[in-house]
Structure 1
Amino acid sequence: MCYLERFDIDLKALTDEVTPLSWELDDQFFASLEGAQLQGGSLHVSGSIRKATGFYELQLHTDGTVRIPCDRCLDMMDQPIGADLRLVVKLGSEYNEEDDIITVDENEGVFKAAWFIYESIALAVPIQHVHQPGDCNDAMMRVLEEHSAARSSDADAKEIDPRWSALLKLKEKSEE
């Protein structure tokens, strides 16, 4: 059995109106997905799928951490994640994804939730992710400071463009 098959939901086998769902995600989950940019983490997914007339409503909540590189020092860090996913799944003649409505081939009747769970996690990762102050790699921070200081001192050493000098004179006169 493929690792990702545990995230398959057999829609035809659902008998109750509401079926609870729960999974634990670890590094193996991320490694099993082709094309996944996130490479590891520890998360808990819980939720339910509700059978209604003509469709199924899937609601999932994910909590935990993913391992990603710090934007500042490039060391790996644990980024807390909280994500919610709501999808409507229908049975139809062929597979189709349109907005938040997924149509699954009724001959197969199986909804493969793994990639949708991954996407909800990936979208919950903040744009900027950095360690807490003081937790970054000290060696990398020293190198970063050296290069930042070199750039700013080079800018200060350059002669000011004469057009800016004229504007500075105007500014000084207006402040008097």
Structure 2
Amino acid sequence: MESLESLKIDLKSLDTGALSTSCHLGDEFFEAAESDEIKSGDVMLSISARKSVSGLYEIDFHAEGTVKVPCDLCLDDMDQPICTDNRLLAKLGEEYSDEDDIVTVEKDDAVLDTAWFVYESIALDIPIKHVHAPGKCNPAMIKALEEHSAARSSEEENETAVDPRWSELEKLKSIIKD
């Protein structure tokens, strides 16, 4: 995933103070993520970072705006509002690692690219089910869905009717019992 320069944080510079920045995440950011879930977006992102007394770096994200996601019913793109806050903890170490709840950044480089963490934070704020408001779905797709569901329900009704071969076998079963 490509990163914006404003999403890279030089952790060594936080030794002297805190960092506070904001940026706009547009279509380019979401296209770079190469995800089928989020097509594009218009999100304002605020990042604040500081070094704590314990030596950990605390990075707080606040993202607010809208992203385009496919509707679960008609598959047309729809605007999904998002508003999320998230915190990332980082520390300096020998090699990069994000296996624990704390991201370890190499001491020599000391630059943390937060692009993927920001994307994940936004993606996790999207509800599991996302559909257009009633009446806003693609009418052609809704009609096709209704036709297929009607055909499927008539097939299920036919399947619940007893096959005549089974009724003949039931007669044989009752004769054998007697």
Q: Above 0.5 in TM-score?
A: yes
Whichever residue aligns with residue 136 of structure 1, its letter is C
Question: 2:14–2:49: 8 Å Cα contact kept in structure 1?
Answer: no
- The answer on whether the counterparts of 1:17 and 1:50 sit within 8 Å (CA) in structure 2 is yes
Report whether the alignment pairs 1:96 with 2:97.
Answer: yes
- How far 1:47 sits from its partner (Å)? 3.4
Distance 1:3 1:88, change over 3 A: closer
Alignment partner of 1:24: what SS? strand
2:169 corresponds in structure 1 to: none
Partner of 2:113: 112
1:143-158 equivalent positions in 2, closer than 5 A: 143-158=144-159
1:4–1:32: 8 Å Cα contact kept in structure 2? no
Residue pair 1:26, 1:43 contacting (<8 A) in 2 also: yes
Q: Could you tell me the TM-score, scaled by structure 1's length?
A: 0.82
- Alignment of structure 1 residues 5-84 onto 2, 5 Å: 5-14=5-14, 16-33=16-33, 35-37=34-36, 38-53=38-53, 54-84=55-85
Distance 1:55 1:159 in 2: 64
Structure 1: 5+ residue stretches without partners: 163-176
Q: What is the SS of the residue equivalent to 1:157?
A: helix
Deviation per CA, 1:81-129, whole angstroms, max 9, x where unpaired? 1222211111111111133201111110101000110111112221111
Q: Following the alignment from structure 1 to structure 2, what is the Cα–Cα distance between the partners of residues 83 and 100?
A: 18
In structure 1, what is the equivalent of residue 125 of structure 2? Answer: 124
Instruction: Pick the structure with greater CA Rg.
Output: 2
CA distance in structure 2 between the partners assigned to 1:41 and 1:8 by the alignment: 20
Q: In the alignment, what sits opposite 1:165?
A: none
Instruction: Give the superposition deviation at 1:137.
Output: 0.5
Task: Give the structure 1 partner of residue 168 of structure 2.
Answer: none
What is the CA-CA distance between 1:159 and the residue it aligns to? Answer: 4.1
Structure 2, unaligned runs of 5 or more: 164-178
Paired positions, count: 160
Q: CA deviation at 1:46?
A: 1.3
What is the SS of the residue equivalent to 1:129? coil
Deviations 1:7-42 (A, max 9, x none): 101111235543212121110111223x43323111
Secondary structure (helix, strand or coil) at the match of 2:130 reads coil
1:118-165 C-alpha deviation (Å, 9 max, x unpaired) = 111112221111100000001111111111111112222344459xxx
Q: Partner of 1:96: helix, strand, or coil?
A: coil
TM-score normalised per structure 2: 0.81
Q: Give the percent of matched residue pairs that are identical in Structure 1 and Structure 2.
A: 50
Say if 1:70 and 1:76, in contact at 8 Å, map to a contact too.
yes
2-structure distance, mates of 1:23, 1:10: 17
